[in-house]
Copies of this chain bind each other. A is one copy, B any other.
Amino acid sequence: MNSYTEENYLKALFNLANETGEVNVNELSKWLEIKMPTVTSMMKKLAEKKLVHYESYKPLRLTEKGKKEAGLVIRKHRLTEMFLVNKMNFGWEDVHDIAEQIEHIQSPVFFEKMDELLGYPKIDPHGSPIPDSNGKMIWKVYEKLSDCKVGETVKLLAVINTSSNFLKFLNSRELQLGLKIKIKSIEAFDKSMVVSYSKRQNESLSQLVTERLLVEKDK
């Protein structure tokens, strides 16, 4: 079994991995707010456990085993978030910190029950995919709203940033997943967009917002 702490490192390694699966000690250190020497020594420990490929001064990489175990922690996190939103009436802006703790509960049946009660969901409340029970995650390829063109109508399917502040902002504009959004105009100067959706006909969204909204072209 991996400790609470080890599980958090695995998750971070998985989430920070670039296209080639690499993570630098420094990034990981900053992300976890844990000093580099501590990270180095944990990486050696995870390497002992065959969860991480570690070589001095080289970027870090999860092993297949490491990826699987990380995937399973992320699965527990996302199932929990879904459960908190769908079964306990939490807002999507309030679930991350609780899930950050509950993901470490040691009880397979507890998460199986969540999964069952939720009807085996494939995505979490923020549109992120929930890894299957082997830790495998299937990433859908979405487009950023900021990359769409005037006149297009798209469906909002996920958010990139899941900070409470950003999600509260989306709440205040009644922006939620599943919504159809039409792009009415784009300001050349700052790339801000004027869009319409549901009852809102002239919402202006800054680029900071539009590049954090993941959409699919409406077919």
Given contacts A97-B107, A98-B110, A87 and B87 within 8 Å (CB-CB): yes
CA distance A88 to B117 in the complex (A): 7
Assembly stoichiometry (copies): 2
Binary CB contact string for chain A from 77 to 104 against chain B (1 if under 8 A, 0 otherwise): 0000000000111100010011001100
Q: Does A1 sit within 8 A of B, measured CB to CB?
A: no
Q: Does A141 sit within 8 A of B, measured CB to CB?
A: no
Q: Which of B88, B105, B113 contacts A102 (CB 8 A)?
A: B105
Are A88 and B113 touching (Cβ within 8 A)? yes
Minimum C-beta distance from A219 to chain B (A): 38
Binary CB contact string for chain A from 198 to 211 against chain B (1 if under 8 A, 0 otherwise): 00000000000000
Which B residues touch A20, using CB under 8 A?
none
Are A101 and B90 touching (Cβ within 8 A)? no
Are A106 and B101 touching (Cβ within 8 A)? yes
- Closest 6 A/B residue pairs (Cβ): A98-B107, A101-B105, A88-B113, A98-B110, A102-B105, A88-B117
Q: Can you name 14 A-B residue pairings with CB atoms under 8 Å?
A: A87-B87, A88-B113, A88-B114, A88-B117, A89-B113, A90-B113, A94-B109, A97-B107, A98-B107, A98-B110, A101-B105, A101-B106, A102-B102, A102-B105
